[in-house]
Amino acid sequence: MKRILVLGGRGMVGKKLTKHLEMVGLADGDAFELTLHDISPSQGNENKGDPPRHLVGNLAMAAEGSALAAERYDLIYFLASIVSGEAENDFDKGWQTNLWPMWSFLEALRAQHRASGGTYVPRVIFTSSIAVFGGPYPDKISDEFIQSPQTSYGAQKLACEIMIQDFSRKGFIDGISLRLPTICVRPGKPNLAASSFFSGIIREPLNGIKAILPVADTVRHWHASPRSAASFLAHAAGLDTSRLDGRRALNLPGLSCTVAQQIEALREVAGNDVVALIKLQPDPEIIRIVAGWPKDFAPERAIELGFAAEETFNEIINVYLEDDSPSLQG
């Protein structure tokens, strides 16, 4: 029985991963036991099947990470973080939340590795971000493009990637950092991420609610659906990491499109009346942050390793309608 821990399991990606694992299982077909950890308490079993174990705690407390590491999980997903806009606006909170818990937890895993005589080497999968990159950009970012983050959030994600890389090099863990595209269309309410509007301009109009567009419709960005995010994480669990050739961070597949192309896809799916609910209202801070983000990728390594995502934005909208439309929640 493989034991799995999801840190940040109450977040959107954590919920999607949980649902995916419960419905599809692991790629190798192994039976598993799932534990979700989050700073927020569970509000009951939201997934079909046997409910996973829920733990509540704060990873900013080193003792919390030590207690979790002592349970020696086989597979650990490190999803816990605060989002980009919040990390940028509160410098201290961003580093205290997005960096130090990773260091403390990896140190706790290293202690368990040593206590086991070197036999305990857990697979650790970290959700990084395309925010680790900074301009000026080529037309498409290749797997060889350098990391030069232009936000605190991107810097924090890159610092964690480097820790994952070095702890893996030393054999304490078997880690992978997945640079997720912006996940769209996110279900639920808007969050504090600077990228939140990419989902909002689709989700809100589909639900009859006005949406604010804070940037020009010429802005181009890199997207994948929540369904793809869960699939990325599940696929990484069974990956032969020797194929990474020591480069433990991966740019993942996605779809590059402009905001105008997003809106046109929405028009094709839902009509002009829905699109009319989008209102342009420029936000200088969001414009500044988004301007420093990459726009397109050529993620050849990840594709060769079997990762895949949507190819059109219509597909991304339809994933939302199939998986998260409010009409399905009743």
Residue 49 confidence (pLDDT): 47
CB distance 179 to 131 below 8 Å: no
In the beta sheet, which residues pair with residue 6? 36, 77
Residue 47 confidence (pLDDT): 46
Q: Token match 């050529």: residue?
A: 298
Nearest CA-CA partner of 239 in 78, 31, 26, 79: 26
Residue 202 vs residues 116, 129, 130, 230: alpha-carbon distances, Å: 50, 22, 21, 20
CB distance 94 to 193 below 8 Å: no
Asked if omega into 101 is within 30° of 0 (cis), the reply is no
pLDDT tens per residue, range 69-128: 999 999 999 999 998 889 999 999 999 999 999 999 999 999 999 999 999 999 999 999
Q: Tell me which of 73, 77, 120, 153 is the catalytic residue.
A: 153
pLDDT tens per residue, range 231-259: 999 999 999 999 999 999 999 999 999 99
Average pLDDT, 10 consecutive residues per value, the chain (330 residues): 96 96 88 94 58 90 96 98 91 96 98 98 97 92 95 96 98 98 93 90 96 97 97 96 97 98 98 98 92 93 98 97 72
CB distance 316 to 262 below 8 Å: no
Greatest alpha-carbon pair distance for the chain in Å reads: 64
What pTM value is reported for the model? Answer: 0.93
Angle at 55 between CA 49 and CA 56, to 5 degrees: 135
Label the pairing between strands 220-224 and 255-258. Answer: antiparallel
Please indicate whether residue 137 is annotated as part of the active site: no
Q: Phi/psi of residue 179, each to 5°?
A: -85, 90
CB neighbours of residue 26 within 10 Å: 15
Residue 122 confidence (pLDDT): 98
CB neighbours of residue 329 within 10 Å: 7
Two tokens, residue 230:
């869960």
In whole angstroms, give the CA distance from residue 167 to residue 189: 36
Please say whether the dihedral angle defined by the alpha carbons of residues 299, 301, 302 and 305, taken in this order, is positive or negative: positive
Residue 329 confidence (pLDDT): 46
In whole angstroms, give the CA distance from residue 296 to residue 49: 38
Residue 132: partners with Cβ closer than 8 Å, 6 or more residues away? 147, 149, 154, 157, 158, 161, 179, 249
Domain coordinates in residue numbering, the chain: 2-180+225-253+297-304
Q: What is the CATH number of domain 2-180+225-253+297-304?
A: 3.40.50.720
Q: Token match 């190798």: residue?
A: 28
3 state SS of 187: coil
In whole angstroms, give the CA distance from residue 109 to residue 121: 8
Question: DSSP strand E in 122-189: where?
Answer: 123-129, 174-180, 182-183
Nearest CA-CA partner of 230 in 281, 187, 194: 187
